[in-house]
Amino acid sequence: MVEKRIQSENKKQNKRNSHIGGTRPSQRRTESQTEPCKVCGDTAWDEDQVRGETICGSCGYVAEENVIDPGAEWTNYSDGVDRSRVGAPVRESISDKGLNTTISRSDVSGAGARRFGIKSGDTKHWRRRQRIDERSKNRSSRARNLTKAMQFIRDRGNLPPGLIEEAARLYRYAAEQGIVTGRSIRGVAAACCYIAARQASLPRTIEDIAEAFDMTDEMGTKELKRTIRLAARTLNAHHVTGPGEYLDKFHSDLGLHPTVLGEANYLWNRVGESMEWQGKKPSGVAGVILYKAAQNRGHSRTQAEVCKVAKVSEVTLRGLLRILEALLSQMGEAPSN
């Protein structure tokens, strides 16, 4: 009798624990960090869902603690294994925001068909229904436009997940304002990615965006610049990008030591207010600051490597280097050898 009572109590306790602290079946993740790490400048964020912490995957810096879980309530009083009671979250980067149901090809062929009891003779009928289901969702020109644009943003944007959603929101608003009419979907999607990254202080150069969206020819680059100016005015997303915002990205692209980023920020704080930088390309100024900082810290990079990242010529870099060394000599800093 005592053993049966103990077994009964253990079963009740295990049932209570399964509702309170069991393993969650859902793999939903939240991307709360879009800005680069303050220590190393990388954007490789990892999340510890048990501790509620956001950690840099490169240097281990803890950016957030005690993060609030925005997921659903996981208490379920049924006997099922999956305790989730909601569907997937709404995603702006999907044309229908993930709210429509779909007939997947894997469900009507092979193991999926056997799992759902679809016989081989009925496969062709289900494939026809699957095609009709796909076409019915893209009958309007707006739906086809959004489908193509969201695919461009997801595949070519090269942005963190949070910024991909922001770029998708900007594109939807731009479509409502009529910017897409008479312009290429590729160009407007590229402009939205550029503006989303710039607003989050993770700017991409126009050359990088043009290369990602296959707009590197002269006509494509001109179209991209015009579209960025128009979209920025329409979306009220005016933001002047400074050289300091490129330091984190260029530091990561060059694979420099974390101390170089600290030295670069120190140099920019000293010479950033000078009027000598007026009219100079921000990415070129950021490149020369990192070039000088890497020399000071003993992690030198060649001018060709810096120019490839900053998208400037070596002649431009050497001209900016002369300006930087002149400013440092006026402030009492030792010039480089």
| Domain match, 256 and 294 both | yes
DSSP state of 79: S
d(CA 299, CA 314): 19
Res 30 pLDDT > 60? no
Q: Which residue has the higher pLDDT, 251 or 10?
A: 251
Does residue 20 lie in a domain region?
no
d(CA 115, CA 110): 9
The number of domains in the chain is: 4
Give the pLDDT band (50/70/90) at residue 303.
very high
d(CA 283, CA 312): 8
CA angle at residue 17 from 11 to 21, to 5 degrees? 160
Does residue 92 lie in a domain region?
no
What pLDDT does residue 291 have? 94
d(CA 159, CA 12): 48
SS3 category, 222 = helix
Whether the pTM exceeds 0.75: the reply is no
What pLDDT does residue 166 have? 92
What mean pLDDT value characterizes the chain? Answer: 81
Contacts of 135 (CB under 8 A, 6+ apart): none
Residue ending a domain, among 210, 234, 258, is: 234
Res 84 pLDDT > 70? no
Here the CATH number for the domain that contains residue 156 is 1.10.472.10
Segment 106-157, tens digit of pLDDT: 777 777 777 777 777 777 788 888 788 777 777 778 888 888 999 999 999 8
| Domain match, 280 and 325 both | yes
Does residue 177 lie in a domain region?
yes
Here the CATH number for the domain that contains residue 55 is 2.20.25.10
Res 82 pLDDT > 70? no
Give 108-153 as a 3 state SS string: CCCHHHHHCCCCHHHHHHHHHHHHHHHHHCCCCHHHHHHHHHHHHH
Structural domain span for residue 114? 105-136
What percentage of the chain has pLDDT greater than the value 90? 35
Does residue 125 lie in a domain region?
yes
Q: Which residue has the higher pLDDT, 44 or 139?
A: 44
Does residue 248 lie in a domain region?
yes
Segment 235-276, tens digit of pLDDT: 888 877 888 889 988 999 899 999 999 999 999 999 988 888
Per-residue pLDDT, averaged over 196-211, amounts to: 89
d(CA 54, CA 77): 31
| Domain match, 219 and 282 both | no
What pLDDT does residue 40 have? 85
Does residue 284 lie in a domain region?
yes
SS3 category, 45 = strand
Cβ count within 10 A of residue 61: 16
Q: What is the DSSP string of 223-239?
A: HHHHHHHHHHHHTT---
d(CA 143, CA 158): 23
Per-residue pLDDT, averaged over 159-168, amounts to: 91
Complete edge-to-edge strand list for the sheet that includes strand 45-48: 45-48, 53-56, 62-64
Do 72 and 59 touch, CB atoms closer than 8 A?
A: no
What pLDDT does residue 19 have? 44
Res 279 pLDDT > 80? yes
